[in-house]
Structure 1
């Protein structure tokens, strides 16, 4: 409600007649002037309210940012525990058959932040080309500083590849080792106390160096002690 300026109230309370109190004409304000004064008071009240709300919003935003900085989560860490390639052959120059098994060690390094893995799919690639179909892990929760093992068996039958891939496979077999990339792609959420964040995209890239025996069969030279560290992007 718009407040009436004090001098407008006074003018209304004490009408002035020119014949009696000519000296008080300076206290009399016109209705138009009073309306302008009331509008000015209302604008001032609105500015004060807007300033108060803005201050409250900035205070809350600063508090949330400060808490997030203190509890800012560190990316999950992954490491190759073991990897085995049982098949990597080309029945034709443009088609590839593959079978890959692996186990990754996943660790949450955060002491106050948990991690929800809502979606996580795994696949293998070779020379920049995906050589297996996707394998999807069921959703799971990883507590503070917890460690989990993620194992999957990947395979591909008649996967279309570039004609040059056959040459690459033959050359690596002659060299005695093949580099297979194990990739994870999915969504994670952070949990701090009872608060849970929105989803974030996570990508994990691991390199497994698999040895090849003289016969051309695949073996698994990676042991727990020489597991490969993976790069993680969130």
Structure 2
């Protein structure tokens, strides 16, 4: 007489567990190693960046105004349109001993009492090595630039006072270079002040023989924000 064997629920559960374990992917340990490797690599990169930043911490570039000459500053009546011509010379210095600077974009312009009085003039991009100084020049011009109705009054008041204050401003984008590593782009702004003698005898709108308004501040430092 044969005996009929009927498996219990406990036996069925054990059998199902064995089949589940047998069907697990064989590469699971490899995936764990890969995840661990990627996490370690990412952590190492972050640590390297923090160490690099706190060790080097690049100082912002320095700019110094050497000379500014106003050859033309004529307001066309009654339209309040301005024609201007200004020649600018200044120094750019990288104060860092281990960090180079790529200037990808750099534009300069002149402003008078909060009003822009020349168009933006681009300066060609350049690389500045460790503690290197470059002489930069730019011709700032405007033809028919709209200005506020108060412009004529402000110029007349400065002419009576005998001096004119111009602001020479720059804006652009730079990148830091450490060894073969180059950072992303950073925006920067430059602000220089030029004080010029201003009177009837040396007005830029007078005859050419009277000469331009000139400011030679002998290397006055400009403010720089990065």
Q: TM-score, normalised by structure 2?
A: 0.80
Aligned partners of 1:173 and 1:216 also within 8 Å:
no
1:76 to 24, 43, 61: 61
Residue in structure 1 matched with residue 166 of structure 2 by the alignment:
180
Aligned partners of 2:67 and 2:89 also within 8 Å:
yes
Distance change (3 Å), C-alpha of 1:160 and 1:197: same
1:60-99 aligned within 5 A: 60-93=45-78, 94-99=80-85
Distance change (3 Å), C-alpha of 1:62 and 1:39: farther
Deviations 1:114-136 (A, max 9, x none): 11112211111112111112221
Residue in structure 2 matched with residue 141 of structure 1 by the alignment:
127
Aligned partners of 2:102 and 2:174 also within 8 Å:
yes
4+ runs deviating over 3 angstroms: 35-53
Distance 1:108 1:75 in 2: 8
After superposing the two structures, state which structure 1 stretch, 211-220 or 102-111, moved more. 211-220
Distance 1:161 1:54 in 2: 58
Distance 1:29 1:149 in 2: 84
Aligned partners of 1:120 and 1:139 also within 8 Å:
yes
Q: Offset of 1:113 from its aligned partner?
A: 0.8
1:202-221 aligned within 5 A: 202-218=188-204, 219-221=213-215
1:1-12 aligned within 5 A: none
Residue in structure 1 matched with residue 90 of structure 2 by the alignment:
104
Q: Offset of 1:171 from its aligned partner?
A: 0.8
Q: Offset of 1:35 from its aligned partner?
A: 4.7
Residue in structure 1 matched with residue 207 of structure 2 by the alignment:
none
Distance 2:70 2:117 in 1: 12
1:16-35 aligned within 5 A: 30-35=14-19
Residue in structure 2 matched with residue 8 of structure 1 by the alignment:
none
Residue in structure 1 matched with residue 216 of structure 2 by the alignment:
222
Aligned partners of 1:80 and 1:206 also within 8 Å:
yes
2:40 to 17, 39, 55: 55
Deviations 1:173-220 (A, max 9, x none): 111111111111212111111122222212111111111134252532
Q: TM-score, normalised by structure 1?
A: 0.78
Residue in structure 2 matched with residue 22 of structure 1 by the alignment:
none
How many residues are matched? 208
Query: What are the ranges of 5 or more consecutive residues in structure 2 without an aligned counterpart?
Result: 205-212
